[in-house]
Amino acid sequence: MKTSTQEKGTLLLALIAGLSINGTFAALFSSIVPFSIFPIISLVLTVYCLHQRYQNRTMPVGLPGLAAACFILGVLLYSAVVRAEYPAIGSNFLPSVLSVVLLFWIGFRLRRRKNQSLD
């Protein structure tokens, strides 16, 4: 039970890292999105927490791929939300569709890992 909670925490941190890295990039380099210091703070804290998890715990087989998928999901979700809020940037159709596909893939992989651990 504890391992499952730690794995979910790592996946959540990877998702937040994806959101905050795209938010930092948009805040620093996009003239349409207003500047905010909070994505930068979130990015620093999330990367620090992920680094501490990496140093103190071993990652089970398959978790790095899921963490990378969660990171990409965060990047795509932030992009879709920003493009919905500021339509001058472009359409949010592709990031939205890729986010849904990636979300289903992550859910499938998590369910498969759960079933393998029960056997």
Which domain range does residue 38 map to?
2-118
**Higher-pLDDT residue of 48, 86:** 48
Residue 9 pLDDT exceeds 80: yes
C-alpha 98/C-alpha 88 separation (Å) is 20
pLDDT in tens, 19-74: 999 999 999 998 888 899 999 999 999 999 999 998 998 888 889 999 999 999 99
Tokens of 33: 């999105």
Q: Of 29, 46, 28, which Cα lies nearest the Cα of 37?
A: 28
What pLDDT does residue 89 have? 86
Residue with tokens 């210091």: 37
What pLDDT does residue 51 have? 94
Q: What is the model's pTM? A: 0.91
C-alpha 4/C-alpha 74 separation (Å) is 21
What pLDDT does residue 109 have? 94
Number of domains in the chain: 1
List own/partner pairs for 89-94 with CB under 8 A and 24 or more apart: 89/30, 89/32
% of the chain surpassing 90 pLDDT: 72
The mean per-residue pLDDT over the stretch 62-91 comes to: 93
